[in-house]
A = this chain, B = another copy of it.
Amino acid sequence: MSHQPLRTARTRLRRFPQRGIFDRQAINSILDEGLVCHLGLADATGQPFVLPTTYARVEDELYIHGSAASRTIRAMSTGQPVCATVTLVDGIVLARTAFNHSFNYRSVVILGSATAITDPVEKARGLTVLIDRLVPGRSNEVRPPTSQELKATSLLVLPIDEASAKIRSGPPGDTGDDLLTDAWAGVVPLQTSVLPPVPDPRLAPDRPIPAHIRSWRQETPN
């Protein structure tokens, strides 16, 4: 239940083999299910800013992109310490006591410093990964970025070296006499649902929805 530091997979595997595997797998599985991370960055006065953004996990790195003109992206490019947090909210835990109310959730917190990818070929490949991770097969369907669009976009890579996962699941934690009280207790599960795609009104009306969009996350168990 507590945040466990994650060094490299190799270090972790040497020191606590089972926990190490569990941690890396748990972290990856949460990162791969999430769509948006919350990126934290502090200014010189210590004021933090927390902004939502999309991301892709590629092996042990988190790819993040944004406008090259964005203050946040520029600050990240200089190697300032950042925090990237991904949270999946799985349910509301309704206990018999006010105190035991909670959420079921899975979250990952990554601390570190990002590096900007400046090589145009690497950058183009990284941006393709960001799209295809979100909607697999999408990059084949669309016009790739022009060199001007590439210039206007920054790609940052944050190593997943110092990270932790936190998970709460299951029924409320009531104990003792509280179990004898009259209150209903349990969990209201929540999930992110995918609704039917809404075509751009500028498409031909008889235009079929391609398979890579029709099937997107339809198979997601949760």
Interface residues of A (CB under 8 A from B): 35-36, 38-42, 45-52, 54, 80-85, 87, 89, 91-92, 94-99, 101, 103, 105, 107, 109, 111, 127-128, 131, 134-135, 138-139, 141-146, 149, 153, 171-172, 174, 178-179, 181, 183-203, 207, 209-210, 213, 216
If A94-B135, A172-B200 are given as contacts, then 17 extra A-B residue pairs at C-beta distance below 8 Å, sorted by A number, are A35-B190, A36-B103, A38-B50, A40-B49, A42-B46, A42-B47, A45-B81, A47-B83, A51-B85, A52-B87, A95-B142, A99-B145, A101-B134, A101-B138, A185-B200, A189-B194, A193-B193
User: How far apart sit A36 and B85, CA to CA, in the bound complex (Å)?
Assistant: 13
| B190 lies within 8 A of A195 (CB) | yes
Q: Taking the full assembly, how many copies of this chain does it contain?
A: 2
- CB contact under 8 A between A83 and B193, given known A50-B109, A98-B142: no
**Residue numbers in B under 8 Å from A181 (CB-CB):** 142-143
